[in-house]
Structure 1
Amino acid sequence: MKRIWILAIALAGFSSCNKFLDTKPTDFYGNTNYYETEAQLQQSLNAIYSNLIRSELYGQVMGFNFTTTTDEVMSNRTADGDTRGLRYNYDASQVYVAGIWRYCYVGIRNINSLLENINKPEMDSTRRNIIKGQAIFLRGYYYFLLTHNYGDVPLVLRTLAINEVNIPAAPQKQVYEQIEKDMKEAEVLLKDYTSAKLGYNDVVTLTAVQSVLARVYLYWAGYPQHDASKYKDVITYCDKVINSSLHALNPDYRQVFTNLSRDQYDIKESIWELGSQGAAPGVPNKSGNDIGNFVGIQSAIVATDTSSYSSAAWVWVTRKLFDAYQVDPASTATPNKSSLDIRRDWNCANYIYSGNPRVKAARTSPWMMCAGKFRRELAPQSVRNINGVGGTYNINWPVIRYSDVLLMRAEAENHENGPGAAYPYINEVRKRAYGLMNGNVVKSFTITNQGSGYTTAPAIVISGGGGNGATATSVITSNRVTGIYLSSPGALTAGSYYSAAPTVVIGTFWTPGVTYAANTQVTNGGRLYTVTTAGTSTNTPPTHTTGASSAALTGAVFTYAGVAATATATITSGNEYELTAGLDQAGFQLAIRDERMRELCFEAVRKADLIRWGNFVNDMAEFAAYATGNGASVTATGNVNGLAGVRAVSARHVLLPKPTYELNLNKDLVQNPGW
């Protein structure tokens, strides 16, 4: 359920400068007649939260415009069709470049005003500290967004007069020091404020402060500051979160994002979310966002189809991401082998919806697969298709998850002490990724008889073995079953894991009393039959090996088609997830890079990761060469437009340009290099 962020009444007149009027305003709120009550403080704080989820920030831009052309996902837009900067074709005048800057400072301005008036109303001191702690953390967070996007930025810690416009940028190190100061003060003020007590996570709590501060230190340790002393702080703050016992991984990676789509809180896994307005049952929809739209699975609203939803899918995943997930080497599924890692088929969606009526169409080329993490098709019908019109799609944005804390802890440990003690943290993430947190799952299939005579791919039914929820599809070649694609290894909740290999049934067994349509294929006694005359089956199954059955005996007429295919299943042994043992420090760091991509793709951290690792431009050049040599440049099955965007990366793209409008106002501001 989403908490509603009620937009506070616009706070105007923050400056006391008024040379022409000598009367106090009576038709709007200013500092002299606002912040009088706890409710007004809370309204102001709510507006600061709401500012973060607006389209100029996390409602669209932060997870899309400048973060989605990397080695994990690329734009599929042509240069003429891209006005959003996806292909590194933006400049300092672009509206989305300006929006991040503008609305971060709007948030900071409102926070400064709130903090200056925090002691104004009479209220409980604990409640005052909670509001103050959230506000001062959010000021640090806004500055974190600013500095890792723009570098050196003006550091404004008070309400400015209307004529204070020329403010030089503070060096990034000084900005980081202020972020640290604000967040550490917030940690003290929020010492007993936890999501476990609240039951929701779309406000800043103690562990949200600690986990985000760990991320701040990780960025501070990397390029361009290279302050390696901060790795120890990463360890300290990750350990605070881990040792709190307030957080844990959800056993099913897919469920984390299903919960986000369905408006369900997961306070163990998701440490801090940005809440959208509305969507919860009984709560009026106020506004939505673009989460799951441009970075989502393609579909259009069809008025007569209440299951339809709207998603433009303006980015596609990369083969590098797809191939980063381990496959079952024994899999004979084509064209893509089954993966042992359940994250692959969730994140790299191998289908789209198209047409009217809407149909599900397969995507087999990884370069053309949609980013499947945020799935609007799982959202409540009332917010995705309202009388044939797109809804508000109120999916929360996961700012930081527990898996990120574990991976940060592993990276910092490796840097400080080598990989020895870092393995448990990355392996905990990998164990969940393979579905093995609480037991074993279906791993792979062996086809013991390919059969013959199949005209369509038969269904796969998996049963027994003590578990449930495993699903698979078959692949046929030349009328034989040549592969089985594992689409789900099983349900990953208590009591659903497999203690033994389940039974695999290929196709549909002949069943008495069932009405079969013409051309249906069924099996009986190891033989495959095709229904040539529709009808209801009798108690006498077909047993012949040539020709057609008698309608008098079998009801529907069955014609012998061939031999029924058979297969067996294998379950995991419990250790497939473990990272290769014995890596040196450099090798473990490379493993961390890949694991962060596999786990956190499309969550707006990959570009920032590549930058802090210090080789962004060369990394992207190497990826462009890889993409060219691995099919991205093929028009029919690649992503030519995205490849052109990757090739456009240069040194200036390490930072966004400072907005033109701001440079025109603030004469003390200096443009970033290359712009």
Structure 2
Amino acid sequence: MKTTYNKNTNLFPGYFKTFGKALLWGTLTFATLSCEKDLMLEPENNITQTSFYTTELQISQAVSGVYSAMVNASSRGGFDVNFYLLASEVRSNNFNAISQNGNRDYYAINRFQDTSSTEEVEILWEDAYQLISYANTILARIDAVPFADQATKEQYRSETRFLRAYAYFELMRNFGKVPLVDHPVTPEEAVSIPRTDLATLYEFVTSEIEASVAGLKNAYDAKNKGRVTKSAAHAMLGRIYLTGSGFPLNNGSYLQKAKSHLNTVIQGEGQYVTFAANYADLFKSANDNKYHIFEIQHISGGLSQGSYLPSYVSPTFGVNDPLYNPQGSLYSAAELGVSQSLINSYETGDLRRPLTVKTQFIAQNGQVDYANYFVKFREPGVVLTNRYDWPINFPVIRYEDVLLMYAEVLNNEGNTSAAVPYVNRIRQRAGLAPLSTSMTAGDFTTALRKERRVEFAGEGVYWHDLVRWNIAVAVINQAAADLNYNFTITTNDYLYQIPLSQIQVAGYEQNP
């Protein structure tokens, strides 16, 4: 089947959330594949090839466009909604899709009924390869562009390499083997690129981020807050190596590499990374780019740069509810609600629970109604132009994740007593009693896994934890049995199906 594509130009605004909520706008001109067939190929528009990517300013704008690829576009969500909410959080037993309002993808994903034709599966593939395409074009052009300062050129190159590798990592976690495209290609070339094995993909993404560290900055001025830092690169490498040490790659040599990069981040606390004194401070738009290591940038104001994740996970409130907003919700919490299993996993007195989930609200009729829903990213009193316009950034990776991953590595090495204080630091902030430094490695593993679930609830972390620990089959099947759901899963369900459009166009083998 012949690949089809169009040569329409599209505008992709570059952005960073800055002091005073200003925006840095950049314009990019790209030819794109149709929605159904895209590895996002070589730009075909002659203006793009001959006139753009020729000055330092244009490269700066293009790099901003790579960041923008992670953000909500045309009200279909960005990486936060698609990769971290729908494909990850909803996949886990943290959510419970109770009713199917029409043909909703969240229901299929939560009940493991998704197929290669599920729209959300297509979106994951398209969004990641869109970012990769933008990055490939910049990296193919940047050498020929004169810069006043070589360090700035290397910074832009490093940011772009990081973002491309990050997009590949998300593809790997969701689809396993995927085509590795590291340069612009023609439509004819694209259909002949095979899926690449996981070991090669891990080598690519880790080597790309390792190489990017030198060109990145430790910190940026106010107008450039949100760019990738050295700490973000080390933290992401820690996550990638730790993931690769688990299922399905099971590369034990990655543990020491994870430990080294995570430790580098920890050594920068107080200078380059900050541990928030209060859990509530982590999820306020006023604190964007203050506590998290790498964030998806959002800004309100009707500029298509806001988040709609908060609207996805909350009920429709009544006008007297403190969380009410006239543009508040997409779905009822009766359709897609937080599971009772997650709520029960919080210990008595855990300060994180009321800041993360609620179980009742004031309905539109003024009466108290009951449902389990996330409030972590929803701020009282914020007035929006539309439900896709929430200003709060989304944390791709937090410092707390670095601390808990480091503790996990220490425990895996047999040094449980050294691992416990890292968990206790987070438990203390949550108002909980400390773990004993004399506990066994097995007991610590159980405690750590529980801690990660509640600390990162709603952030798209837990499902990938379950997979790399290879306990998702047991956890999900038990949850389904407890709820009398008529399904069971196997390790084949750890990955999504390759989109049907890609099977038809490129002839890829399907995941089992």
Report if TM-score (shorter chain) is over 0.5: yes
The alpha carbon displacement at 1:223 in A equals: 0.2
Deviations 1:331-372 (A, max 9, x none): xxxxxxxxx21001221213223215xx47253xxxx31122
The alpha carbon displacement at 1:111 in A equals: 0.7
1:316 is aligned to 2:319? no
Decide which moves more: 69-78 or 210-219.
69-78
CA separation of 1:94/1:300 partners in 2, compared to 1, >3 Å: closer, same or farther? farther
Q: How does 1:405-554 map to 2 (within 5 A)?
A: 405-434=402-431
Q: Distance in 1 between matches of 2:352 and 2:410?
A: 25
Corresponding residue for 1:373? Answer: 376
Corresponding residue for 2:296? Answer: 274
Which amino acid counterpart does residue 126 of structure 1 have in structure 2? A
Corresponding residue for 2:245? Answer: 221
Corresponding residue for 1:64? Answer: 85
The alpha carbon displacement at 1:101 in A equals: 0.9
Corresponding residue for 1:150? Answer: 175
1:126 is aligned to 2:126? no
Corresponding residue for 1:662? Answer: 502
For normalisation by structure 1, the TM-score amounts to 0.65
Contact 2:55 2:146 in 1 (8 A): yes
CA separation of 1:63/1:400 partners in 2, compared to 1, >3 Å: closer, same or farther? same
Q: How does 1:36-55 map to 2 (within 5 A)?
A: 36-54=54-72, 55=76
Corresponding residue for 2:470? Answer: 614
Q: Distance in 2 between matches of 1:318 and 1:348?
A: 10
Corresponding residue for 1:477? Answer: none
Which amino acid counterpart does residue 9 of structure 1 have in structure 2? L
Q: Distance in 2 between matches of 1:606 and 1:59?
A: 14
Q: Distance in 2 between matches of 1:377 and 1:362?
A: 18
The alpha carbon displacement at 1:56 in A equals: 5.2
1:105 corresponds, among 108, 111, 129, to: 129
Contact 2:66 2:134 in 1 (8 A): yes
The alpha carbon displacement at 1:248 in A equals: 2.6
The alpha carbon displacement at 1:29 in A equals: 2.8
1:588 is aligned to 2:444? yes
Decide which moves more: 135-144 or 411-420.
411-420
Contact 2:155 2:215 in 1 (8 A): yes
CA separation of 1:186/1:104 partners in 2, compared to 1, >3 Å: closer, same or farther? same
Corresponding residue for 2:434? Answer: 578
Q: Distance in 2 between matches of 1:15 and 1:345?
A: 46
Q: Distance in 2 between matches of 1:201 and 1:590?
A: 37
Corresponding residue for 2:12? Answer: none
The alpha carbon displacement at 1:5 in A equals: 6.2
Which amino acid counterpart does residue 274 of structure 1 have in structure 2? I
Corresponding residue for 1:552? Answer: none
Which amino acid counterpart does residue 339 of structure 2 have in structure 1? T
Corresponding residue for 1:178? Answer: 204
CA separation of 1:306/1:120 partners in 2, compared to 1, >3 Å: closer, same or farther? same
- Structure 1 stretches lacking a partner, 5+ long: 19-24, 328-339, 435-575, 634-642
CA separation of 1:79/1:430 partners in 2, compared to 1, >3 Å: closer, same or farther? same
Which amino acid counterpart does residue 281 of structure 2 have in structure 1? Q
1:8 is aligned to 2:32? no
SS in 1 for 2:96: strand
CA separation of 1:201/1:88 partners in 2, compared to 1, >3 Å: closer, same or farther? farther
Corresponding residue for 1:296? Answer: 314
The root-mean-square deviation of aligned C-alpha atoms, in Å, is: 2.6
- Structure 2 stretches lacking a partner, 5+ long: 1-15, 33-39
Corresponding residue for 1:205? Answer: 229
CA separation of 1:584/1:664 partners in 2, compared to 1, >3 Å: closer, same or farther? same
Which amino acid counterpart does residue 351 of structure 2 have in structure 1? I
Corresponding residue for 1:392? Answer: 389
1:352 is aligned to 2:361? yes
The alpha carbon displacement at 1:241 in A equals: 0.6
Q: Distance in 2 between matches of 1:301 and 1:118?
A: 52
Q: Equivalent pairs: percent with the same residue?
A: 24
Q: Distance in 1 between matches of 2:43 and 2:241?
A: 40
Q: Distance in 2 between matches of 1:390 and 1:78?
A: 21
The alpha carbon displacement at 1:102 in A equals: 1.5
Q: Distance in 2 between matches of 1:581 and 1:308?
A: 50
SS in 1 for 2:31: coil
Corresponding residue for 1:361? Answer: 368
Contact 1:5 1:47 in 2 (8 A): no
Pick the structure with more strand per residue: 1
Corresponding residue for 1:230? Answer: 254
Q: Distance in 1 between matches of 2:501 and 2:30?
A: 23
Deviations 1:69-111 (A, max 9, x none): 4222222332745344333221101121011112211211111
The alpha carbon displacement at 1:612 in A equals: 0.5
Which amino acid counterpart does residue 199 of structure 2 have in structure 1? K
Contact 1:407 1:425 in 2 (8 A): yes
CA separation of 1:306/1:65 partners in 2, compared to 1, >3 Å: closer, same or farther? closer
Q: Distance in 1 between matches of 2:164 and 2:457?
A: 26
Contact 1:220 1:227 in 2 (8 A): yes
CA separation of 1:80/1:30 partners in 2, compared to 1, >3 Å: closer, same or farther? closer
Deviations 1:543-597 (A, max 9, x none): xxxxxxxxxxxxxxxxxxxxxxxxxxxxxxxxx5302442211221111110000
CA separation of 1:15/1:144 partners in 2, compared to 1, >3 Å: closer, same or farther? closer
Corresponding residue for 2:219? Answer: 194
Corresponding residue for 1:239? Answer: 263
Which amino acid counterpart does residue 47 of structure 2 have in structure 1? Y
The alpha carbon displacement at 1:374 in A equals: 1.4
1:250 is aligned to 2:276? yes
Corresponding residue for 1:508? Answer: none
For normalisation by structure 2, the TM-score amounts to 0.85
CA separation of 1:15/1:233 partners in 2, compared to 1, >3 Å: closer, same or farther? closer
Q: Distance in 1 between matches of 2:137 and 2:127?
A: 15
Q: Distance in 1 between matches of 2:355 and 2:439?
A: 29
Contact 1:154 1:169 in 2 (8 A): yes
Which amino acid counterpart does residue 135 of structure 1 have in structure 2? T
Contact 1:232 1:416 in 2 (8 A): no
1:265 is aligned to 2:265? no
